[in-house]
Structure formats: C-alpha cells, structure tokens
Amino acid sequence: MLYYLYMRLPIGVKQLLWDVDIKTIDVEKHQSFLITRLAEKGGLKEIQWLRKTYGDTCIARRVAVSKNVSKKTKNFWKTLI
C-alpha cells in the first residue's frame, strides 16, 4: 500500500495543488486526482515521482480515461506502455 506524508510529495507539487489542502492529500485515496493533475501540469521531478509511486501502466490507464487531461498528455502516456 502507498502511504506517504504530504511532505514526501515532490517540492513542485504544492504549486500544482493550489486548490486543495496539501496536508489532507492521501497518496492512495487521491491517486486518480494526483495522477491526472501531475501528468498534465507537472515537470520532470513530478513525473519521476509519479512513475516511481504508481508505475507507467497505472498512470497510462488513469490518464486515458480522464476528462481533465489533454490529448497531448494522453498520447504521451500511450507511447510509454
């Protein structure tokens, strides 16, 4: 199971999660939200964290069905798996 404190999220994540209380983020419970937000808006460090935390297959599946992700991002993740 994935249990991380909010402090273990990448440094740049705080700016990407401006609309939520970062202290309440649960990496497992908010998996879909984190994947779609960071895959769409994140930089290299955030993408590396996503891949390490969830794996490419899980990320690609979440991104493929999300309405909050651009076609560009969907195509990127599609090429990785």
Cα three-residue angle 10-11-14, rounded to 5 degrees? 100
Instruction: Tell me how far apart the 2 most distant CA atoms of the chain are, in Å.
Output: 33
Task: Tell me the pLDDT tens digit for each residue of 10-67.
Answer: 777 888 999 998 888 889 999 999 999 999 999 999 999 999 999 999 999 999 999 9
Residue partners of 74: CB distance under 8 A and separation at least 6: 63, 64, 66
**pLDDT value at residue 3:** 41
